[in-house]
A and B are shown apart, each in its own frame.
Chain A
Amino acid sequence: MKTKLRIPLLILSYIFVLALTSSCKKKSDPDPAPVTGISRTGIFSFLGTIDGAYYLAQSKQLLTGNVSFIDNGTQLEADQAARIVAAGDYLYSLDYGTGLISQLQPNQSGGYTILKEINAGLAVGTNKPRFKLADDHTLLVYNVVVVPVKDENNAVIDQTCTLRLASISIPGMNISNLTQFNIPQSENAKLGATIGYHPMRVDAPVISGNKVYFGLMHMDMFDPTTIPPLRVPKQTGLETLVFDYPSFTNGSITLTDKGSGHTGGYRAPSMHVDEIGDVYQSNWFMSANSFDLSAGDKTVITRLKNGTYDNSYDFNVSEALGLSSNIGTGGWFYAGNGIGYMPIHIEDAGDYYTANSWSVLRIDVYNKTAVKLNIPMSQLFSYENGIVYNGKFYIAISPIGGEAYVYEFDPTSSSPDAFTRGLKLDGANLALEGIY
């Protein structure tokens, strides 16, 4: 009898202990102790990504030591991806997938504190908006939607391309200028595609004077044989969408035949405003992205003034570089005084997405010169941002299968060796998308 009782009693005490521990124990994720925000001056932020997660880490150095994401840095809210813009004292992180933009401040612990949060995607009718810094006080957020137009037989005869945009003043994070605009299809864009090339994306906006400029990406949206990311792009001419600023009225397309391809850049910006207010724009024309090089089109820089292309300006980067291989770019970075750094795909060096086939050019948009720097080849198609600090330009180079470092470029020198290898990065399969 005693043994019979003992076992149920043992079980009951076990249950009691379990119930007690479970009711006392709550979340295993204690909030870290509150930390105070610090000035962004002299703090450099690095955006790293691996396996769909995005992280931001700090460093006070650019030339010495190393920065690693191992047990370091803050994970960013990133439903599908996180995109970063830095301006003034803060960083702005877009959660691509929810459409939320958060204002981040570095803090003493090495992490980042969210100060403000706005639902920018809601303002432009999508959870997946794009955004860029258009000037020091303005973030622009935008979304383009392409909808087929069908006839009575349900056949697609055209596409309408609707842009929704909003501007966010920073650092206050106030949204205004909610604008909806049907992007017109130029006569040039109607030629050659199944039912014409259609603007399917805008990007890289810049504000100069009383105009705001958006680069455009045109594709053959009704190509029944190719999946959308690989659709054929527009092969002739360059187009830019221009609005009056700050009213965002009088939207129009300006065109030039100085080059061909897209004008919105990819992750790197395609447009920059120089010190006197001229806009310099790169084109995206890589054979790897279904562009047909047979017409002889190349990578060029064009200039826009007063809302139109300045056809008096001509800078053929491919020609100035003089390589035997064709080159292509997704965008470039401006270091001041007409000097820029442009990641280029050297087509003979391999696939643009999976090989070390990219290098960096120093370009001078005033003197129309281009020099390939003698840095290691890497993959820079998805690279987003470099920074100018104390007159020098800094970029992260992570060769596939090699060691990754920050490189310092000297804009005052046109030598291909005018660079210094700096801070060491994790490298490996942790992709570094930008320095801020």
Chain B
Amino acid sequence: MQFKMRLFQFISAFLLIINQQQIFAQDHKLTIYGTVQTNTGIPIPMTLVHIINPTSDQYTDNEGNYILSNIKIRADSITIIAYTLGYSTLEKNITINIHQDSIRIDFILKELNDTEVEIVSNQIIKKDEEGYAAISIETKKFQSQSIELNRILDQAAGVKVRQEGGLGSRSTYALNGLGGKSVRFFLDGIPMDYFGSSYSINTIPISLIDRIDIYKGVVPVELGSDALGGAINLISKKQTQNGLDLSYSYGSFNTHRASLFGNFRDSSSGFSVKLAMFYNNTKNNYTVWGNDIYTTDPNTFTVNRGQKVKRFHDAFSSQAIKADVGFSHTKFADQLYLGLLVSGMNKDIQHGTTMKVVYGKATYSQQVYMPYLTYKKTNLLVHGLDITLFSGYTFLTRSRVDTSIYIYNWDGNIEGVRTLGGEQSFTLNTLTEKVFLNRVNLSFRINNNHKLGLNIINTNVNRVNLDPLITHKTEGYWAPQLFSKQTLGLVYESKWFNNRLTTSLFSKYFSYSAGIKTSATTMGVTNYSTVHTDASGIGYGIATAYNITPYLLLSASLEKAYRLPEPDEVLGDGIMIVSTTDLKPEKSTNINLGYKLSLFQKKTNNIVITGNFFYRDVTDLIQQWQYDAGSFVYTNFNNVLMKGFDGGLKFAHKKTLSFTQTLSYLQPIIKSNTDQLGNENIVYNERLPNTPFLQMNTNVQATIRNIFQQNAKTFIYWNFNYVGSFFRFSESIGKYNKDIIPVQLIHSCGVGYTFPKDKLTLSMDLNNILNEQVFDNFAVQKPGRAVYVKCVYRLEKKNK
């Protein structure tokens, strides 16, 4: 009873504070209307016209008209923005006369061209202004390049992508040092965990992605997942015009990459079809060399190191079709789509964790079929209530084929025969996963300054392993294993002091439960049973930003974050890793303090300087532990404290020249003073091994107009990436012959030409110009010098 009273008092006091904000000025109701059109007078439908303070928005109709009625005006001016894809965003500040009932505000938007250098201040949008340590990378300026999403990510401050080879090779991602399973991926806010590796950030071409949002450490509630280290959200391409984008690239190592994006919308009924397809194929037969590349004399078995060879069993292909059919921008739904994702990949496996042992036959493949439904509606039932729903069912199969009895050498020749088949491990394993994923996202604008958000994600996984070759596995493992995960997030967003201060207070609840098949034999009778285990955690945090001046934004964010155990960690592998019911979630306290200084915003030359100091205190890391001679289990062990800085400087001269410099520095320190058994930890207070800690990226891009033809555009760019060297194992232990990942110095450049009318762009890219021997991981060489040509063609039917 006492609790209820207190709660009531608290809510009353809270509502009073909110209402006080509205009492500051006397309300004045105004109707704002107008049209949005191109500079040639063509109306632009589906343009979002958005008023800041008070917040209100409306899409333009087919004639480009909009009307915003009964807007409560509390200041003597308003800021109104018109935004649509493919056109420049226009912002206007309009002074309001207190005696006016209505005002007409028209917009003329300029069409954007693919190769134009973006205005730098637009690159970091929205979320960092709410206080999150976020980077938003518009992919527009990269669309004409033969570049993968991985490389774009790697150029961003505080992001490290480590690849185990060429196109399609396994990659790991770290945000401010936290990596592996603690970084989660999303596509338009939907967790990508069960989209399969054939439809992942590693395979999706840049031409299907509009923007990449990167959240470091503190993750907004709408990306509902146990993303302890951060999240990467891919925003897929959306067009309002009917059109077709095609791209094709060919280059070194027999690499082909093709993509298609098509969009159709019937403006009268709203019936819409979206189609995204891609195909990647490469031999990855790049040259590797050095001490780790050896062959063996078949007679004496002596080892000849220092060979220079071409990789011969590293081909990769992936393909996907993603189709959405439904309605958009209708009365009943902003979006209602029934979709189907079909994707697959095939990968040859050239070697294990290092290049020392080479394979010639092992392969990996994967297939995904995922039907899904999406629904999005703003102002559902009541004004201010927005809803987004996603429901998808994934059928995923992963197969490994590794039965060869032949031992290959780096020349690609067979040099011996194994007693038992299997280069990496003798297997014909097929894993089948069926996953039901549901997401509900609700947001409610209480008033112009306060908003509530709710995000719920529920995942149910049912998986079965089958391997006809392995009779040594426990039978309990063959039975389906069940794993379910729920995340629930609540956020309260506010703006204060004339929008100069924004705050987001949030809390997230995570839980998982697993059904593990176990077996036991008593008196010769084997009984199978299912053991249930579960764990949960409540995380919370705040993100806040304050505009000291229009030029300087300070931001701070904090999250008590969790990562739940993964199915593999709980269920074991049935061979060497035993299942466990004891795992707790990994935990971390993540803090970011950032600034953004925008100088000469409206001038010819403008500069944006950003920086972020971060702190991550990770405890209960989930790690594999050998608890018995030959068997392993996952346990919660090790604490790591990470501190560091990442920042950037961006300079733009008109729209013709841009220069970007980023820098990231990380100090990850081991903070467990004992090991699992109670031994003193000899590497306590030492830098975490196998973690890159210093990296820089420099990018210069220029656009020159009217070369050869009037209205044609030529762009050139140069990129330089630096990663400092680091040890694979402990820094302090050992002196000679220590495994080291050497300094990376990679120069890349490119040139492109966009023909007049912006339909066709041809480009050429040169990667790793100096043919440096480059490693992200110990003894796994990445591709050397490579040349690619690319053609981008855009067919568009303008709405008239």
Interfacial residues, chain A to chain B (CB-CB below 8 A):
3-4, 7-8, 11, 14-15, 18-19, 22-23, 25, 27-29, 32, 48, 50-53, 55, 69-76, 79, 97-98, 100, 109-112, 116-120, 122-127, 143, 145, 147-148, 154, 156, 162, 164, 174-175, 180, 221-230, 266, 289, 353-354, 381-382, 400-401, 426-430
Q: Indicate if the CB atoms of B651 and A7 lie closer than 8 Å.
A: yes
Assess whether B627 is in contact with A353, with CB atoms less than 8 Å apart: yes
Known: A127-B357, A229-B630. A221 touches B472 (CB 8 A): yes
**A266–B353 alpha-carbon span in the complex (Å):** 27
**A377 to chain B: closest CB distance in Å?**
14
Given contacts A22-B770, A429-B675, contact A354 B302 (CB under 8 A): no
Looking at the complex, which of B249-257, B581-589, B724-732, B792-800 is the stretch in contact with chain A?
B724-732
Which secondary structure dominates where chain B touches chain A? loop
User: Contact flags (1/0) for B641-663 with A, using CB distance below 8 Å?
Assistant: 00000000001010001010000
19 A-B residue pairs with CB within 8 Å: A11-B700, A15-B718, A25-B745, A51-B683, A51-B689, A51-B729, A53-B730, A71-B732, A71-B733, A75-B736, A116-B302, A117-B303, A125-B419, A127-B357, A180-B419, A225-B476, A225-B520, A266-B629, A426-B682
* Cβ contact within 8 Å between A18 and B302: no
**Cα distance, A161 to B740, chains bound together (Å):** 40
* Interchain CB contact under 8 A, B653 and A4: yes
Q: Which residue of A lies closest to B684 (CB)?
A: A428
Taking the nearest CB of chain A, how far is it from the CB of B638, in angstroms?
A: 11
Report if B417 contacts A (CB, 8 A). yes
Give residues of chain B (666-683) contacting chain A, Cβ–Cβ below 8 Å: 674-675, 677-683
Judge if B416 is at the interface, Cβ distance under 8 Å. yes
Considering the complex, which residues of chain B in the window 734-757 have a beta carbon less than 8 Å from any beta carbon of chain A?
734-740, 742-743, 745, 747
Q: Which residues of B contact A (CB under 8 A)?
A: 296, 300-303, 305, 352-354, 356-357, 407, 415-420, 468, 471-476, 519-521, 526, 574-576, 578, 604-605, 627-631, 651, 653, 657, 659, 674-675, 677-683, 689, 698, 700, 718, 720, 722, 725, 728-730, 732-740, 742-743, 745, 747, 770
Instruction: For A223, list chain B residues within 8 Å (CB).
Output: 521
Q: Given A381-B629, A400-B677 in contact, is the A7-B474 Cβ separation under 8 Å?
A: no
Contact B736 A74 (CB under 8 A): yes
Closest Cβ of chain A to B580, distance in Å, is 13
Extra 7 A-B pairs, beta carbons < 8 Å, given A74-B735, A225-B526: A8-B653, A72-B734, A72-B735, A75-B739, A97-B356, A162-B419, A222-B472
A11, A32, A221, A381: residue with the most chain B Cβ atoms closer than 10 Å: A11
A226 near B736 with CB under 8 A, answer: no
Interchain CB contact under 8 A, B302 and A382:
no
Residues of A within 8 A of B679 (CB): 400-401, 427-429
Q: Nearest Cβ distance between residue A177 and chain B, in whole angstroms?
A: 13
CA distance A143 to B418 in the complex (A): 10
Tell me which of B301, B472, B574, B653 contacts A119 (CB under 8 A).
B301
Contact, CB under 8 Å: B302 / A117: yes
Q: Contacts of B653 on A, CB cut-off 8 Å?
A: 4, 7-8
Q: Are B720 and A18 in contact (CB under 8 A)?
A: yes
- What is the minimal beta-carbon distance from A139 to any residue of chain B, in angstroms? 13
Which of A48, A110, A429 is B680 in contact with, Cβ under 8 Å? A429
- Bound complex: CA A117 to CA B297 (Å): 11
Tell which of B301, B356, B683 touches A175, judged by Cβ atoms closer than 8 Å: B301
A347 to B651, CA, bound (A): 71
A401 & B680 in contact (Cβ 8 Å cutoff): yes
Task: Name the CB-closest residue of B to A71.
Answer: B735
Q: Is the CB of B519 within 8 A of A224?
A: yes
Q: Are A25 and B743 in contact (CB under 8 A)?
A: yes
Query: In the bound complex, how far is the Cα of B700 from the Cα of A8, in angstroms?
Result: 10
Q: How far is the CA of A174 from the CA of B305 in the complex (A)?
A: 18
**Residue of A whose beta carbon sits closest to that of B722:** A22
On chain A, the residues within 8 Å of B747 by CB distance are 19, 22
